[in-house]
Structure 1
Amino acid sequence: MSRSTLWWAFFVIVLALLVLRPLVQLQERALADGARGLREAFSLPTIGRVLATTAALGIGATAVAVLLGVVLAVSATMLPRGARWMAALPIVPLVVPPVAAIIGWLFLLAPNVGYLNTALRSLPGLGGLTTGPLDIYSPTWIIVITGVTLSPFVFLFVHSSLRDMGGEYADAAATCGAGRLRTLRTVTVPLLRPSITYSAGIVVLLALGQFNAPLLLGRAQGVDVLTTEMYKVTRDAPVDFGLGAGLGTPLILAGVLVVVLQRIVVGDSARFVVARGRAERGSARTSPWAAVVVAVYTVVVVVLPMAALVYMSLSPYWSGSIDLAALTTGAWRDTLGDRLVVNSIGLSVRTAAIAAVVAVPVGLTAAWALSGFGRIGPRLRGAVDVLSMAPVAVPAALLGFGFLFAYAGPPVVLYGSSTILVVVYVTLMVPHATRMQLAPLLAIGRSSYEASRACGAGMVRTVARVLVPQLRGPIAATTALVFVLMTHEFSATLMVRSVRTRVLGTALAEAYEFGLYPKVAVVALVMVVVTMAGVLIALALGGKESIRR
């Protein structure tokens, strides 16, 4: 066996330990003692309602996200010349942690003291209401909020495909007399089937494993899903890992089903390749309404929740009314003077930075294997492909629960240390780090690599001196995305939390449980600031190319 084969076999083993070990051990626990965990999970009195709510959240949120993401992507390609800078606005919500956005919407739409509800009740015809008219705690609004927070993922995939597609086909359809709606229905959407299907698959997996909105909003009306039921299991001592594993089994099966359906729906992706006659030119058909759509989306999804967070962070308490004379910085002083909060900021930044330093090279190595550059056999390449993408099909909450079980006891005990956070983050980020670096690696081609090797440079020197400098921008962009997603992570963090692993998400959850709403707003805004700072540093190191990405 060659040295190269041994190296790639070792890499596959490492990936398998990261991804499969917690899940395999968890399923073994669910099936132990005659599948006791599964039997207990499906004998719970509320399991039928929980499964139905989980399915409704997954399907409903996906429908909202796909519809909104496609509309935004199409609108971004139809912006007038002077407003084309607005095409970047739909991805701004990615910089805002979902948990912070949800808390912002809570302050706006709480039925009794939500700022927006209070304003709506002052309108003619609604003056007799003492609550509402909107209720963010209802299942419908939980679905809508979840779908809105996931829509940027759909936008990224669809907008990228629209840019690659160009405007030739839409222009040809217009020349033949087709209106905008008919062109969209008969030309654009069919060509976008792969990107819509792939993004919808990602979104439905994220929605089925959704934890933030059901935990923060659903408890008021008893809206529970599988992930929140698993979280309840972790709150009891001793933790019933068999029951938690049984509750997570439907999510694993759903992940496998979604991946299979994606392949069936897309089929041969070569059918959707378009021939372009003009490079990098969008459709000549523009509309001022496209700018209106993007602007309204940005105001509603970003500006309003952030404004609510800022106002609440300066308020002494949550009353539902706007009183500028009562604003104070007391909550900021108290929160930033809290040693536990300050320590959580440091731990969040430290663990996210360490995980990024690990995850990005791991992803680059996996991308190297999949690109065909490395001397790796087809079986090992297939194993790298499957293992590097497996975490996408597993909800973060379930993966966090698996790590809690796998590393809470011998032979490897990580629970209670910051190391378990790093391991969880790296595992969750491997798919993103791999795919974001694979396309640029393929675009470079083999010429510079082969020239370096022909001149006598070894593999390590070739990678360090030739390929990495060419990948500086993509590596920085990947690091920025990985850092964003890790600082946003809430569900897996809560699953493995302990007294010594309090990060910003943990601090926010604890303040929320005690009803310290000004403190909640401050912590949420600190999460936004930390995320933006990390992104700016990563992009600055990567230069202009990474910013364009």
Structure 2
Amino acid sequence: MTANLADPAVTPEELRRPADGPPEPRAARWRWPLTPKMFIVAGVAAAIGYLALVPLGYLIWGTFFDAQGLDLGSFERAYGDGRMGELWGNSLAFAGGAALLSITVGTTLAYLNVRTAVPFKALFFAASIVPLIVPGILYTVSWIFLASPQIGLLNAFLEPILGTAPFNIFTIWGMIWVEGLHSSPIVFLLMVAAFRSMDPSLEESALMSGATRLQTLRKVTLPLVRPALLSSILVILITSLESFEVPALLGLQNGIYVFTSRIYFVLRSYPQDLGAAGALAVSLLAVAVIGVAVTRLLAGKGSKTYQTVTGKGFRPRPLDLGKWKPVVGVGILFYFFVTVVGPLLVLLYAALLPFYQAPSWEAISSFTLDNFAQVFEMNSAARALKNSLILGIGAATIVMGLMAIAAWISVRSTIPGRGIVEQLSFVPLVIPGIVLGLSISFVYLRFPLPIYGTILILLIAYCTKYMPYGMRYASTSMTQISSELEESAMVSGASWWTTFRRVLLPLLSPGITAGFIYILVVSFRELSSSILLYSPGNEVLSILIWEQFENGSFNVLAAIGVLMVLALMFMVTVAYKLGAKVGLRED
């Protein structure tokens, strides 16, 4: 019997069946999984799991256990000097105060920029981008030049009016001021997006119902941007808890310890006590994890309430500030000077002096380029620049390469447990940098291969630290690409790897390029994990600046800082120019 090909009831098995003879046995549905695709996917998942979990496992094991078993002596050594309350108080006051300042400043500026006819809007971009490029250690040093009781320019200017040394940056309030100002641009960028997405008719309805502007702001505006506000608080709290530059440069001068500076002090003491440092690190990690859990719990309640982008169109109308417009304009100019112009100018001023001194005609007449010449003659400066470039480009390339595939696993694949890959990639987000450096040292001090003390251990630290950011950029871009394009390539006979390389990667390139730029810039700024992992000959630029500070070479430090900021601005500009040439373009 011959099958009728026109009969729609004929199955594919009957078409493949010989004209005579019994039907062939049905092929097994299970396919052999050892394909190149599975090797690549499994390798990426294993690499992410290793980077995220192994250092934490070693840290926890090394802190709670020794050769004899469970041992809590490390906690006794860490907190046994009677200063536990002071350490916790300083850490929470510093993180909470910096978060409060940055949230207040950043949210206020975002609201003024989006919802009002504020003057000098062009300055908002510079005020939000430039501080993110300037490394934290340079920003802190610039405020030492401005507000130190001994050499601060502000103290020198205001001494005839306010008396001797009215400002002292080496206090907990000075630490909060510097960290809060440096973090406020992050809040500004997060809150601008939230305010732009909010329908202003909701505020107009409240005003028409008799509410004052303050009541509308408190009962309508802020509740509607609550998810973005909570996200900002979470980011700033973690950033402040893991901050090392500000507590180390400002707090240690007066014996003010927070967790990060105390861990550094313990590890730099002799004999080195890894167990006590681990106990402090575990406590700091626990605080960060609790903060993340509480913030997510608050953000998850009533998420439907905050959906302000609906099918109804709206056009935000800026509010007229009226008589307050000049006052707000002066405030914006002051903020721009404090966050951008002042710190950069004082670095340039110090870099041009043979030795640091208060501004005068005599000081200006002594300007010289000798400090820049000395930097170019330093072998350590050239080596640090080379190491920073290797680590920045290497970390950005590795992270974005891994996260592009990880984003496919999380967003596109149907692999069981695919969500675990994304969750693992975000684990380092709650690990403070100095804790990460300590965790990695726990691993590779016991590792059979000679990785500790080489530049490779810094590369591992950078890749681990910046995985969450790479995953966010890659997964966001992946969700915007329709699966139809991938399916069309597969139907045309392309393999998975060919489809990924020839179809998905070009479409992902804008997001990957943005992630590459971000990781490259922040790698140059990284100090907190590098300070525990570098060895002589493997210094990066941030370590070189730290060493110059410890040696008291402030003018050479300022020259290095000016060159570093210029280099970062140049790299960001070039990277964005190149990024504009990739991805989708209009003919």
Q: Could you say which residue in structure 1 is the equivalent of 2:258?
A: 225
2:341 partner letter: V
Structure 1 CA distance for aligned equivalents of residues 582 and 334 of structure 2: 29
Structure 2 CA distance for aligned equivalents of residues 470 and 291 of structure 1: 42
Structural mapping, 1:409-428, within 5 Å: 409-428=446-465
Map Cα deviations across residues 92-130 of structure 1 (whole Å, 9 max, x no partner).
Answer: 21111111111111100001220111001133xx3xx33
Q: Could you say which residue in structure 1 is the equivalent of 2:33?
A: 2
Q: Is the 8 A contact 2:170 2:253 kept in 1?
A: yes
Structural mapping, 1:98-497, within 5 Å: 98-123=136-161, 126=162, 129-130=163-164, 132-236=165-269, 239-268=272-301, 269-276=303-310, 281-287=315-321, 288=325, 291-322=329-360, 323-371=363-411, 373-377=412-416, 379=417, 381-497=418-534
Deviation at 1:154, TM superposition (A): 1.6
Deviation at 1:513, TM superposition (A): 0.7
* Structure 1, 422-431 or 292-301: larger mean CA deviation: 292-301
Structure 2 CA distance for aligned equivalents of residues 299 and 360 of structure 1: 36
For normalisation by structure 1, the TM-score amounts to: 0.92
Map Cα deviations across residues 432-481 of structure 1 (whole Å, 9 max, x no partner).
Answer: 11112322321223232233333332222222222222222222211111
Q: Which of these two proteins has the greater Rg computed from alpha carbons?
A: 2
Q: Could you say which residue in structure 2 is the equivalent of 1:24?
A: 57
Map Cα deviations across residues 257-285 of structure 1 (whole Å, 9 max, x no partner).
Answer: 11210122112433311234566843332
| Aligned partner of residue 239 in structure 1, secondary structure | coil
Taking a change above 3 Å as real, the CA distance of residues 466 and 205 of structure 1, as seen in their structure-2 partners, is same
- Structure 2 residue runs of 5 or longer lacking an equivalent are 1-31
Q: Could you say which residue in structure 2 is the equivalent of 1:70?
A: 107
Q: Is the 8 A contact 2:197 2:309 kept in 1?
A: no
Deviation at 1:217, TM superposition (A): 1.0
Deviation at 1:175, TM superposition (A): 4.0
Deviation at 1:35, TM superposition (A): 2.0
| Aligned partner of residue 262 in structure 2, secondary structure | helix
Deviation at 1:133, TM superposition (A): 0.2
Deviation at 1:238, TM superposition (A): 5.2
Aligned-CA RMSD value: 2.3
- Structure 1 residue runs of 5 or longer lacking an equivalent are none
Alignment of 1:57 with 2:97, yes or no, is no
Structure 2 CA distance for aligned equivalents of residues 215 and 45 of structure 1: 21
Taking a change above 3 Å as real, the CA distance of residues 474 and 175 of structure 1, as seen in their structure-2 partners, is farther
Q: Is the 8 A contact 2:384 2:544 kept in 1?
A: yes
| Aligned partner of residue 501 in structure 2, secondary structure | helix
| Aligned partner of residue 426 in structure 2, secondary structure | helix
1:376 partner letter: I
Q: Is the 8 A contact 2:114 2:318 kept in 1?
A: no
Structure 1 CA distance for aligned equivalents of residues 509 and 207 of structure 2: 41
| Aligned partner of residue 271 in structure 1, secondary structure | helix
Q: Is the 8 A contact 1:75 1:294 kept in 2?
A: no
Query: As a proportion of its length, which structure holds more helix?
Result: 1
Q: Could you say which residue in structure 1 is the equivalent of 2:9?
A: none
Q: Could you say which residue in structure 1 is the equivalent of 2:135?
A: 97
| Aligned partner of residue 491 in structure 1, secondary structure | coil
Taking a change above 3 Å as real, the CA distance of residues 99 and 401 of structure 1, as seen in their structure-2 partners, is same
Map Cα deviations across residues 196-239 of structure 1 (whole Å, 9 max, x no partner).
Answer: 11121121112112211111111221111111121123324553
| Aligned partner of residue 121 in structure 1, secondary structure | helix
Structure 2 CA distance for aligned equivalents of residues 461 and 169 of structure 1: 49
Q: Is the 8 A contact 1:171 1:283 kept in 2?
A: no
Taking a change above 3 Å as real, the CA distance of residues 61 and 83 of structure 1, as seen in their structure-2 partners, is closer
- What number of residue pairs does the alignment pair up? 539
Q: Is the 8 A contact 2:149 2:155 kept in 1?
A: yes
Percent identical? 27
| Aligned partner of residue 315 in structure 1, secondary structure | coil
